[in-house]
Structure 1
């Protein structure tokens, strides 16, 4: 499994790697163990652990987004602040991760929750991680089997440290919106301020550009082709040399937009972890409404 060609993996490629004790991670690199992590989560949807118990990719370990991929803080920290690095490392070790492993993450919503784990692992310095393109539906459509037994891995010893990807605080997000391109991954109607189901104020960060991450997904539930993604981001004003940032409601789907940018061959953008949930909870921060 080689990295930096694409942050995605197909169901066929995962199937070819599954069932082997290890796989080559690239020319000149040592053999690495394949780890499969299930990140099923929907805001207001059925609990992911229950869905996992009904059937998952064989050998997968369940990851709880709310408790393992997010911390807890004040409203101005956002609804899903980043977990403390020690807590995140402890979770990764519970999943059985060791340095040098190959990791595939998946969900049942076309990667829009699994991307949170992809981004966090990359941010923490873990290189060999990919998202299953199309998620569980693609695995089933391919003919992959499902398991209902839980896999309890031997605890791992991975060492993680944050800082390997760029992030933004509120001031930096405002600066990117003014001097680069700040992409808003939420649905367009939330960007325009027509609806706001969870955050205290409706609208968007002034100067941001509406870029719903759902528009990066094709009708088959898989990511659009790299060429189509590159065209889409170019239309939004983002090319390889553009200072770019991404945000959403709470930093989850923003990670999926970052995933789409890397799939398009672009650098991973700076991500605003607090996103609009943090911004809108700060009365000193202005909020814009409308299409622009």
Structure 2
């Protein structure tokens, strides 16, 4: 063990004392204007649902303070010191940054203690937080990502914000038989097998006639509000996107999926899906929104256009051709000229888009990630992955973010790679490769 000289020890002690005195001199609270004058950072310590726009209480504020970061106290137990350091680095948080927190007292105290431990000592409170509704920011369509307590209140026939306009139904979506659903699911939820909306050989969407029949079987019309969740968020998102394509007007996701409901300690039930009276008529043509899906020729036409982005939602090893990502897809590489939209560590993970609890990462983070690759909200944007699940999840996030002209390239890498004439790229490359 290295010895520390007396002079060094005295210097360190003096430095720590001076630093503590400086930290103690920080005001107990800032207004937003004062914090901006200090070039400080605002952190919202509430759950992401309230940061995104849901009011925390009846008559409460919608959204978050301008440019606020979201570091929910509920995430702290899920974040290692390394992960917290990565979060801070990603958001350019420096040890000498002036930081102001807002949220409940207990949440603020928990976040402050954790940040103090990580070396951030210039922490105070935002005194005028959520007091000026006109300056607050939120997801343009936050209501499309519901949270567990909202759904529970809806089921209890309690008044809620963004209540469905008419009939509503809840479904769990998953691949194959409902083995986990049978053991435990959200009370009253039905079950949709993803095999009913996509099929081999390429796992593309089923025919419009089959899709309509599936919807009618589950009692779904064009004006039914459908709330979907999954053990994997992207399974529910896959069904959600295809329902929107079919013409169901109001389709919502439980943000974070089944895990958020389970973690909230809300009631569950087990057993078979409830008996449903089929709908006699969908009430509108199918598909109702064909523009939400592009085919291979349309995807090819989007390449290297400045007003369009064909976006790969695949892991970096898939994008550069180290792996295809799937046991049943042999070719490696990706679409030449496509822009990388991030995903996760492999074909079954989406960490780049998730908070530590699996909910949607902040829209500012996602938009900044995409901007690096030239993916912008004013473009025609089509997402794809291997067969559509991950692409559908990002589609649902972009939709909640208010992006207008978005779609999913249903065929994805599986279809593209099965046609040898299609251009393919491999190897390390950056945003310039898509220009």
TM-score range, shorter chain: 0.7 to 0.9
Residues of 2 paired with 1:104 and 1:261: CA distance? Answer: 18
What is the CA-CA distance between 1:163 and the residue it aligns to?
Answer: 4.9
**Measured at CA, do residues 116 and 245 of structure 1 come closer, stay the same or move farther in structure 2, by a change above 3 Å?**
same
* Correspondent of 2:241 among 119, 144, 151: 119
What is the CA-CA distance between 1:58 and the residue it aligns to?
Answer: 0.8
Which residue is equivalent to 1:51? 180
Which residue is equivalent to 1:189? 317
* Correspondent of 1:60 among 189, 214, 220: 189
* Correspondent of 2:414 among 274, 277, 284: 277
Residues of 2 paired with 1:153 and 1:38: CA distance? Answer: 15
Contact preservation (8 Å) 1:262, 1:268: no
Residues of 1 paired with 2:203 and 2:140: CA distance? Answer: 27
Contact preservation (8 Å) 1:39, 1:113: yes
Residues of 2 paired with 1:205 and 1:228: CA distance? Answer: 25
**Measured at CA, do residues 23 and 88 of structure 1 come closer, stay the same or move farther in structure 2, by a change above 3 Å?**
farther
Q: Is structure 2 residue 333 aligned with structure 1 residue 208?
A: no
Q: Is structure 2 residue 135 aligned with structure 1 residue 5?
A: no
TM-score w.r.t. the length of structure 2 is 0.59
Residues of 2 paired with 1:147 and 1:270: CA distance? Answer: 35
Q: Is structure 2 residue 287 aligned with structure 1 residue 162?
A: yes
Which shows bigger deviation, 256-265 or 154-163?
154-163
Residues of 1 paired with 2:264 and 2:391: CA distance? Answer: 28
Residues of 2 paired with 1:251 and 1:207: CA distance? Answer: 19
Residues of 1 paired with 2:158 and 2:179: CA distance? Answer: 28
What is the CA-CA distance between 1:158 and the residue it aligns to?
Answer: 2.3
Secondary structure at the residue paired with 1:245? Answer: strand
What is the CA-CA distance between 1:48 and the residue it aligns to?
Answer: 4.7
Residues of 2 paired with 1:50 and 1:149: CA distance? Answer: 10
Residues of 2 paired with 1:21 and 1:280: CA distance? Answer: 50
What is the CA-CA distance between 1:21 and the residue it aligns to?
Answer: 10
What is the CA-CA distance between 1:22 and the residue it aligns to?
Answer: 11
**Measured at CA, do residues 12 and 25 of structure 1 come closer, stay the same or move farther in structure 2, by a change above 3 Å?**
closer
Secondary structure at the residue paired with 1:178? Answer: coil
Contact preservation (8 Å) 1:209, 1:236: yes
Secondary structure at the residue paired with 1:152? Answer: coil
* Correspondent of 1:92 among 211, 215, 222: 215
What is the CA-CA distance between 1:239 and the residue it aligns to?
Answer: 2.2
Which residue is equivalent to 1:104? 227
**Measured at CA, do residues 183 and 261 of structure 1 come closer, stay the same or move farther in structure 2, by a change above 3 Å?**
same
Residues of 2 paired with 1:4 and 1:83: CA distance? Answer: 31
Higher relative contact order, structure no. (Cα contacts within 8 Å, ≥ 6 residues apart): 1
5+ residue gaps, structure 1, are: 42-46
What is the CA-CA distance between 1:168 and the residue it aligns to?
Answer: 2.0
CA RMSD after TM alignment: 2.4
5+ residue gaps, structure 2, are: 1-53, 55-138, 344-349, 430-435
Residues of 2 paired with 1:97 and 1:243: CA distance? Answer: 29
Which residue is equivalent to 1:259? 396
Contact preservation (8 Å) 2:311, 2:381: yes
Structure index of larger Rg: 2
* Correspondent of 1:246 among 383, 399, 404: 383
Secondary structure at the residue paired with 2:219? Answer: coil
Q: Is structure 2 residue 142 aligned with structure 1 residue 17?
A: no
Secondary structure at the residue paired with 1:246? Answer: strand
Contact preservation (8 Å) 1:259, 1:268: no
Secondary structure at the residue paired with 1:63? Answer: strand
How many residue pairs match? The answer is 276
